[in-house]
Chains A and B, each alone.
Chain A
Amino acid sequence: MFDLTGKNALITGASGGIGGEIAKALHAAGATVGLSGTRVEPLEALAAELGERAHVLPCNLSEKDSVEALPKAAAEAMGSVDILVNNAGITRDNLFMRMSDDEWDSVLNVNLTSTMRLCKGVLRPMMKARWGRIINISSIVGATGNPGQGNYAASKAGVVGMSKSLAYEVASRGITVNCVAPGFIATAMTDKLTDDQKEKINVQIPAARMGSPEEIAAAVLYLASPEAGYTTGATVHVNGGMAML
């Protein structure tokens, strides 16, 4: 349905479950993809699976220099960055009263600050091209909060506020900035949960199941498409009805 032929997309966290599916969906729609992540091996494997139009762009998002070099490396490899998907994120959960400065700083740094830097890094050519798509992956907990995730929730809510502000600034230049906020998604991380734990989660979800990475990728694909040109500053909640926002 959506055609991204000729578009170049940079996806962070492409070695993870959701990021990998996002890369596959954009690639299947015809885009050239830049796969970024810290672990090179899964990125190489994904690139090999995708075949043509896939580039591996390793980056450690906790290092400022590495983050600032990524948009340039992506533009060199692909020719431009027309679509940026800030998907990478980390968690360092702890009760608020026990949370260390380091736990707070590292999560905010990777999830929010590196997202800001990457947005900044791709804006200039997007402004010139009068076309761009930025999709930032937030989280349901950015809107609802979650015990033990004060740092993560703050970073994900921060991403939404930042995206809306940027969306205002660049809307007249044909650049859209949107968020996708996943609920519980079945990935390698949730596979570790016991059946009992999964059951407890599922009863809180009207759809009575976890979502799939493909269902997040589908929302990203829409927001990346030319058809989504009038959608900006939005947050698409993909959570099986767990929080209807």
Chain B
Amino acid sequence: MSDIADRVKKIVVEHLDVEEDKVTETASFIDDLGADSLDTVELVMAFEEEFGIEIPDDAAETIQTFGDAVKFITEAS
């Protein structure tokens, strides 16, 4: 697993208080990991900070799963 994926996973595990093995490629933050809509906003904020990137609102809406997040961040950074 890439360095980016590790860092994203760490944020998700900490923020949503979930088991690491639940955070799979297709795991949806809301449907599978128990996030509410505000949690997803906070996750995006945490990603922005960790990776020093800016994630615009319309892009943030497309980040639904762990895999989406890793893909977006990999492309952006």
Contacts and interface: CB of A to CB of B under 8 A. Distances in A.
Interface residues of B, number: 4
B36 to A, nearest CB: 8
Contacts of A187: none
A160 B38 CA distance: 21
Contacts of A170: 38
Contacts of A172: 38
A169 B36 CA distance: 10
Interface residues of A, number: 7
Contacts of B41: 127
Interface in A1-44: none
B45 A173 contact: no
Nearest to B36: A172
A192 interface: no
Contacts of A127: 38, 41-42, 45
B38 A124 contact: no
Nearest to A123: B41
Nearest to A125: B45
Contacts of B45: 124, 127-128
A128 B38 CA distance: 12
A198 to B, nearest CB: 48
A135 B18 CA distance: 35
Interface in B15-50: 38, 41-42, 45
Contacts of B42: 127
A113 B65 CA distance: 34
A170 B37 CA distance: 11
Nearest to A171: B38
Contacts of B38: 127, 169-170, 172-173
B44 to A, nearest CB: 11
A173 B45 CA distance: 14
Contacts of A124: 45
Interface in A113-163: 124, 127-128
Nearest to A170: B38
Contacts of A128: 45
Nearest to B38: A169
A168 to B, nearest CB: 10
A181 to B, nearest CB: 27
Contacts of A169: 38
Contacts of A173: 38
B34 to A, nearest CB: 13
Nearest to A169: B38
10 contacts: A124-B45, A127-B38, A127-B41, A127-B42, A127-B45, A128-B45, A169-B38, A170-B38, A172-B38, A173-B38
Given A124-B45, A127-B42, A172-B38, 6 more contacts: A127-B38, A127-B41, A127-B45, A128-B45, A169-B38, A170-B38
Which 9 pairs from chain A and chain B are nearest by CB? A127-B42, A124-B45, A169-B38, A173-B38, A172-B38, A128-B45, A170-B38, A127-B45, A127-B38
